[in-house]
Amino acid sequence: MKDRVILALDYPDADSALAMAEKIHGHVGGVKVGFELFVSAGPDLVRELVKMKHNVFLDLKMLDIPNTVAMAARAAVRLGVSMLNVHAMGGAPMLRDAAEAVRDEAQKLGMRRKPFLIAVTILTSMDTMALESVGLTDTPHDAALNLARLSQVNGLDGVVCSAREAGAIKEMCGPRFIRVTPGIRPSWASNNDQKRVMTPAEAIEAGSSYIVVGRPITEAPDPVAAAQTLFD
């Protein structure tokens, strides 16, 4: 099961992130670099994690005009990441151009396997009321499914979604379409600011391909022990 766990390195600096990455190496399937850490430490931090033999998920949720996102996706491929994401709300042309850019750049570099390109559907911090506040009338479930289908038909490998939508997306898009699910909290951990959450075991059972876990591991007195007991 550990290969299906992605650790969120939600730190403000490279030293803290690298120390945790070294400590947890071999106990999770990959590590995630998000906005705060990337803005603070930049691409050199990603290169160092790749050099450490970590599978890196670059979680920047790119959302811009198609050409800008495509060029940024190419740059991410050159960093050696295993997975990167865009935001599905960018629409079909942006999704399509990003997918083409990732495939083309990986081919140019002679990669044996291109990085997975996935799209964010609906953030796990958003519920129906939050969607209504920005003018979206769909439920989080329906919106996530619509954006997953949009992502698939435009050439992406999968989506970021709540574990509550993972099973329906798997059924709709097929088992090879990746479902990466944040908002995962072990039974012994606090929900923090996540609203639509499941335990690791529940998420895998519900249809998640990979689960993203952060504070339950990184803030634990013994992060390795916490990683080893995620599914207890």
Q: Which of 183, 222, 189, 225 is nearest to 206 (CA)?
A: 183
In 3-state terms, what secondary structure has residue 195? Answer: coil
> 7 and 227 in contact (C-beta within 8 Å)?
yes
Distance CA 27, CA 24 (A): 5
* CA 39 to each of CA 13, 44, 88, 91, 180: distance values in angstroms, whole numbers, following the listed order: 9, 11, 22, 25, 23
Distance CA 57, CA 34 (A): 8
Residue type, 96: R
Distance CA 169, CA 189 (A): 27
Concerning whether 61 is annotated as a catalytic residue, the answer is yes
Give me the catalytic one of 61, 108, 170, 195: 61
For every residue of 208-221, DSSP letters joined together read -SEEEE-HHHHTSS
- The residue count of the chain comes to 232
Residue 113 DSSP one-character state: S
For Cα atoms 198, 203, 206, give the angle at the middle one, nearest 5 degrees.
120
The 8 Å CB, 24+ separation contacts for 135-144 are 140/164, 140/165, 140/196, 141/165, 141/168, 144/169
Residues carrying an active site annotation: 61
